[in-house]
């Protein structure tokens, strides 16, 4: 119930009196009860809209009704990967009558815990989470009571349901491209190894060098916060200030890529003549940045859709049916003009 335009609190009784129906019939019509005809449901919903009625969700939930809200907990909405994920999840969940609510953690475990406490108190129907590196023990306990699935990053302490990208193969493919072009001094800027994504991407980078019988030179690996574009730019400067600066660089996150591209522009570095660059992710601007960025494309829409459909199926089953499930989507190498053989 809520206040109408006159300030009066509108209840189901008001709707019932207007339509000359019983209060129980109005309640069932608003709940889409199959015992109520489509014609009556239409009349009730039309009157409710005209009168300014909104269901009191808290009262419904106290009576045992289930929530239709799904939470999405992510590190940073400014990252186009996460904003696209949120858009796709909202479409897929909305088509089945669920509403998506969003929370940002900035990769801070106590902020993550605060959001999980609020969502638990609000009795969300389910939750999709990109976890921080070390979730708080209370966060783990809260998630045990909520149907949930991990996205992109996977923490075994949070369960065995996960949708992600093959991070290892993505960076191995990006680095192998640079090796094939003839680069022997290759740098890497990525996220910390305490994150599952950071660990796998670094492993892919190092294995690609081993495949090419190359070694990682001193100072050629920079691990920085993956959601900080500024840190990406600072890491690039450090790489280029090393005694044997790399002739190519592979990048391990979307925000790091943005920061590196901004810094390359500020430093007036000639790409790819002076430095070849392989980015991560494919934001709209990457295709026309400088000569066009060679990068790793991510199957964001497909992964988000699969995640939403899995959660919807989970919400439709009895509690306790949390079987282990993992979905790994491959990235793709998009070759443009930011990579070339090293200058002689």
| Sign of the dihedral through C-alpha 140, 81, 181, 185 | negative
Residues 6 or more apart whose Cβ sits within 8 Å of residue 164:
150, 151, 152, 153, 154, 197, 303, 326, 327, 328, 329
- Cis status, amide bond into 272, omega within 30 of 0: yes
Q: In what order do the strands lie in the sheet with 294-297?
A: 221-223, 186-190, 248-251, 276-280, 294-297, 332-334
Return the half-sphere exposure (C-beta side, CA atoms, 13 A cut-off) of residue 212.
23
| Sign of the dihedral through C-alpha 255, 259, 262, 268 | negative
Residue 290, Cα to own-chain centre: how many angstroms? 27
pLDDT of the chain along its 344 residues, tens only?
445 544 567 888 899 999 999 988 988 888 778 889 999 999 998 998 888 877 665 555 544 455 789 999 999 998 888 999 999 999 999 999 899 999 999 999 999 999 999 998 888 999 999 999 999 999 999 999 999 999 999 998 898 899 999 999 999 999 999 999 999 999 999 999 999 999 999 999 999 999 999 998 889 999 999 888 999 999 999 999 988 999 999 999 999 999 999 999 999 999 999 999 999 999 989 999 999 999 999 999 999 999 999 999 998 886 666 678 889 999 999 999 999 999 87
CATH of domain 167-298: 3.40.50.2300
Residues 6 or more apart whose Cβ sits within 8 Å of residue 62:
none
Give pLDDT, residue 325. Answer: 87
Give pLDDT, residue 338. Answer: 98
Distance (Å, whole) CA 113 – CA 141: 10
Q: Tell me: domain 69-165+301-329, CATH 1.10.468.10, correct? A: no
Domain spans of the chain, in order of start: 2-62, 69-165+301-329, 167-298
69-165+301-329 against 167-298: fold identical: yes
Return the CATH superfamily for domain 2-62: lambda repressor-like DNA-binding domains (1.10.260.40)
159: helix, strand or coil: coil
Return the half-sphere exposure (C-beta side, CA atoms, 13 A cut-off) of residue 65.
17
Q: How far is CA 161 from CA 127, 153, 156, 311, 325, in A?
A: 12, 11, 9, 10, 5
Place of tokens 């897929």: 92
Instruction: Write out the H or E segment, with its range, that includes residue 146.
Output: none
Name the token pair of 40.
């009556």
Residues 6 or more apart whose Cβ sits within 8 Å of residue 3:
9, 10, 52
| DSSP letter (8 states) at residue 194 | T
């Amino acid at each position: 119930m809520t206040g109408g335009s006159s300030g009066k609190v509108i209840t189901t009784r008001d709707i019932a009196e207007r339509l000359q129906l019983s209060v129980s019939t109005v309640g069932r019509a608003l709940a889409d009860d199959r015992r109520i005809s489509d014609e009556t449901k239409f009349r009730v919903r039309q009157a409710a809209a005209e009168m300014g009625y909104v269901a009191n969700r808290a009262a419904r939930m106290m009576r045992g009704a289930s929530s239709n809200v799904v939470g999405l907990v992510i590190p940073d909405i400014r990252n186009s990967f996460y904003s696209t994920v949120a858009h796709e999840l909202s479409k897929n969940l909305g088509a089945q009558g669920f509403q998506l609510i969003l929370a940002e953690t900035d990769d801070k475990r106590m902020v993550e815990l605060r959001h999980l406490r609020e969502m638990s108190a609000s009795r969300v129907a389910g939750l999709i989470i990109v976890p921080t590196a070390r979730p708080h023990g209370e966060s783990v306990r809260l998630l045990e009571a909520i149907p949930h699935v991990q996205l992109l990053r996977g923490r075994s302490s949070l369960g065995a349901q996960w949708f992600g990208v093959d991070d290892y193969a993505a960076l191995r493919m990006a680095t192998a491209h640079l090796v094939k072009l003839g680069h022997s001094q290759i740098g890497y800027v990525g996220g910390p190894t305490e994150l599952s994504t950071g660990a796998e991407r670094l492993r892919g980078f190092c294995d690609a060098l081993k495949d090419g019988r190359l070694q990682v030179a001193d100072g050629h690996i920079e691990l920085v916060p993956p959601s900080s574009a500024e840190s990406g730019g600072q890491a690039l400067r450090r790489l280029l200030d090393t005694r044997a600066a790399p002739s190519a660089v592979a990048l391990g996150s979307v925000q790091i890529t943005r920061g590196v591209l901004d810094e390359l522009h500020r430093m007036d570095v000639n790409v790819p003549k002076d430095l070849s660059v392989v980015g991560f992710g494919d934001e709209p601007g990457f295709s026309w940045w400088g000569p066009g960025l060679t990068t790793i494309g991510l199957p964001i829409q497909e992964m988000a859709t699969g995640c939403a459909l899995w959660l919807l199926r989970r919400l439709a089953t009895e509690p306790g049916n949390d079987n282990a499930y993992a979905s790994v989507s491959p990235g793709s190498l998009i070759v443009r003009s930011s990579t070339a053989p090293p200058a002689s």
